[in-house]
Amino acid sequence: MKQTKQTIGVDGYRHEILYRIDMKLADDLQKKLSNLYAPSSFIEMKFRGNDVAFKTDENGNAVLLFVGKANENGKIKGNRYARVLKYDNKGNKIKDHWDLKGKSN
């Protein structure tokens, strides 16, 4: 787990905050996302008390993920992840992982 310190000035006072850089997805969520879903669709669900929404590619693989809390309009405020899927010339999967892309709002 990578951590970093950031010093922030609030009302003239200095505060140090530790926060995680590598927000790894839970293994059971990764397993759920590894299933095939309806091609080229947007799917919303609840997972461990969080709202989860993801987009699928033309083959039904989840490729873009939003995890957090949904507001009244259904937009999720939290983290955004992108999936890296790479195949060799024979169609064998050689890379499959999720990258944290930042905050979603």
8 lies in some domain: no
For 10-57, what is each residue's pLDDT tens digit? 555 554 444 444 568 888 999 999 999 999 999 999 998 999 999 999
11 lies in some domain: no
Instruction: Report the domain count for the chain.
Output: 1
46 lies in some domain: yes
For 61-78, what is each residue's pLDDT tens digit? 999 999 999 999 989 999
DSSP the chain: --EEEEEEEETTEEEEEEEES--PPPHHHHHHHTS--STT-EEEEEETTEEEEEEE-TTS-EEEEEEEEE-TTSPEEEEEEEEEEEE-TTS-EEEEEEEEEEEE-
Q: How confident is the model at residue 2 (pLDDT cuts 50, 70, 90)?
A: very low
1 lies in some domain: no
19 lies in some domain: no
Note down the domain range covering 35. Answer: 25-104
pLDDT recorded at residue 22: 55
53 lies in some domain: yes
33 lies in some domain: yes
Q: How confident is the model at residue 9 (pLDDT cuts 50, 70, 90)?
A: low
58 lies in some domain: yes
